[in-house]
A and B are shown apart, each in its own frame.
Chain A
Amino acid sequence: MKQGIILRGKKILESIGDYTEFFKSVITNTFRRGFEWNELIRQCYLVGVRSINIVLVTGFVLGFVLTLQSQPTLKAFGAEGFVPNMVAVSIIREIGPVIISLICAGKIASGIGAEIGSMKVTEQIAAMDVSGANSIQYLAVTRILACIFMVPLLVLFADAMSLLGGYVGTNISGNMTAVLYFNKSFSSLLFSDFFPSLIKTFFFGFIIGFVACFKGFHANRGTESVGIAANSAVVSASFWIILIDALAVQLTSIFVYNQ
C-alpha cells in the first residue's frame, strides 16, 4: 500500500518534470533563430480551415437549441423578448468558448497527438534530431502557435453562428425581425462580456496544442501508443480547458465584475 503510494507519487513528480521540461523547450525554441513561418501557416490552415465546418455547425446548433429550450420558460414569465439577450450573453461569455474549445480539443488535439505519436514511433522525430534539424521548433512550436491563433478565431465564428441559430430558433414559434433580434443581442453585451472570454480562448488554444504535442512527443514505442497518445491528448486537454475556465470565471468575477 505504502509502496504503491510512493510509486504513484514518484510517477506524478516525473510527469510534472516532463511537462516542465517540454514547456521550457517549447518556449526556448519559439524565440530561436530559423523560425518555421511556412510550417506555421500550413498548420494554421490545418487547424483553422479544416475545423471550420464542425465549429460553424456546432455554433449554430448551440444558439438554436438554447433558444428553443429557454423560450417556454421565459414565455411563462412574460419575458420572451429577453431571449436574444440571454442567448447572446450566455453564448459569448461562457458556452461558446468552452464548448467550441472542447470540440477543438476532440478534433485538433487527437489529430496532433496521433500524428506526432506516429512520427515518434516510426523514428521520424529521431531522424529529424540526428540530421541536426530542430524537431521541437518544426513540429511542436508551429502547432502550438497555430492553436493559439486559430482557436480564438474559431470561437468568434462559432459565436456569430450561435446568434444566427438563436435568431432562427426564435422565429420558429415567434416572429422577430433580424434587426430587432440582433439589436437586442448586441445591446445586452458589454466589452467586459466579450474581452475576458476572448482572452481565455488563447489559453484554451495553447493548452490544446501543448498537451497534444506533449503526448505525441512522449508516445512510447509501439502502434498502441499512438492511439493512447491521441486519446490522452483529448482527455487531458478537455480536463485542462474546464479547469482553466473555472479559474478564469473566478478571476473575471473578481477583477472585471468586482464581485
Chain B
Amino acid sequence: METVIEIKDLKIAFNGKPVLTGINLTLCRGENLAIIGRSGEGKSVTIECIVGLLTPDEGTITVLGKDITNLDSDELKELLLHTGFLFQQSALYDSMTVRENLAFPLIRVLKISDEAEIEKRSVEALEAVGLAAAIDKMPSDLSGGQRKRMALARTLIVNPEIILYDEPTTGLDAITSKEISALIMDIRKKYKSSSIIITHDMSCAKITADRILIINEGKIIAGGTYKELENSSDPFIASFFK
C-alpha cells in the first residue's frame, strides 16, 4: 500500500528537555492511524512537526514523497494544500462568520474569486459535517461540538488527502464525541482521506482507527489494532484499555 507519511527517527527538544526521542511511523493511503499516550508525551508535537509548525532537531518527515525538513516556505505551502489540520481548540477565526471562515482558505490559498463557486463549496463542506444551517453564525454562537464540526468543514473545503486530528473529541460530552468519531469515518469514506488522530479518548480510537500507536517518553513503544493492543500483557499498554 502507498505510504503518504513516513517519519524516521524524529527528535525534538524544548529548552534542552527532550520531548521526542526517536519517533518512527508510517501512514498508508486511506488508513486511519491513532496515536495515544499520556499528556506531555509529544503526540501533538509529532503532528505539528508534520505540518511544519515545529522544526525537528533530527530525523526526516516525508509527506507525499517530499521531505518537509528540506522544503522552502513556498514548497511547504504547496504541500500543505494536500493536508488538513484539526486543532484541539478548533482555532476558528473568531472575528469572521462561519461563511468567511470557510471562504478564507478558498480565496487566500486556492485563489478562487468566483463567489458562486465559493458559496457552493462552503455549503458542501458544511453539509458534509451536518452544519449547513450555521453558515451565517459567528463562531462564538456555536457549541463545542459545532465548533469542531465547523473546523472540520474548513479543513475539508480544500479536499485534503491527509487530515491530522489533534484531540478531536477533547472537551466534548460522550454523545457528541461519538458523533465526531462517526463523522471522522464518514469523511474518510467520502473524501478518501488518510488520517492521523491524536487522542486520549479510547472510544474515539476504537471507532476511528485501523491501527493504534502508543507513545511513551517520546518514542512509539507499541502498535497494532485496537483488539491486539487491548489483549496486551504489558501493564502499561493494558492501562489505556481499562
Contacts and interface: CB of A to CB of B under 8 A. Distances in A.
Interface of A: 34, 36, 115, 119, 122-124, 126-134, 138
Contacts of B95: 115
A131 B111 CA distance: 13
Given A126-B91, A127-B87, A132-B81, 18 more contacts: A34-B108, A34-B111, A123-B87, A124-B93, A126-B87, A127-B91, A129-B52, A130-B52, A130-B53, A130-B80, A131-B85, A131-B104, A131-B154, A132-B80, A133-B105, A133-B109, A134-B108, A138-B108
Contacts of A127: 85, 87, 91-93
Q: In this complex, which of A124, A130, A134 has the most chain B Cβ atoms within 10 angstroms of its Cβ?
A: A130
A253 B154 CA distance: 56
B149 to A, nearest CB: 15
A257 B104 CA distance: 52
A129 B81 contact: no
Nearest to B109: A132
A36 B83 CA distance: 24
Contact of B83 (A115, A123, A130, A134): A130
A124 B91 contact: yes
Contacts of B111: 34
A134 B83 CA distance: 16
B43 to A, nearest CB: 16
Contacts of B85: 127, 130-131
B137 interface: no
Given A123-B87, A138-B108, A131 B93 contact: no
B94 interface: yes
B91 A122 contact: yes
Contacts of A128: 104
Interface centre among B52, B77, B78, by most chain A C-beta atoms within 10 angstroms, is B77
A242 B25 CA distance: 55
Contacts of A138: 108
A115 B80 CA distance: 25
Q: Which 6 A-B pairs have the closest CB atoms?
A: A127-B91, A123-B91, A132-B80, A130-B85, A132-B109, A130-B51
B55 interface: no
Contacts of B80: 130-132
25 contacts: A122-B89, A122-B91, A122-B94, A123-B89, A123-B91, A124-B93, A127-B93, A128-B104, A129-B52, A130-B83, A131-B105, A131-B154, A131-B158, A132-B77, A132-B78, A132-B80, A132-B109, A132-B158, A133-B104, A133-B105, A133-B108, A133-B109, A134-B77, A134-B108, A138-B108
Contacts of B104: 128, 131, 133
Nearest to B53: A126
B208 to A, nearest CB: 21
Interface string B47-84: 00001110000000000000000000000011011010
A129 B53 contact: yes
A136 to B, nearest CB: 10
A23 B104 CA distance: 25
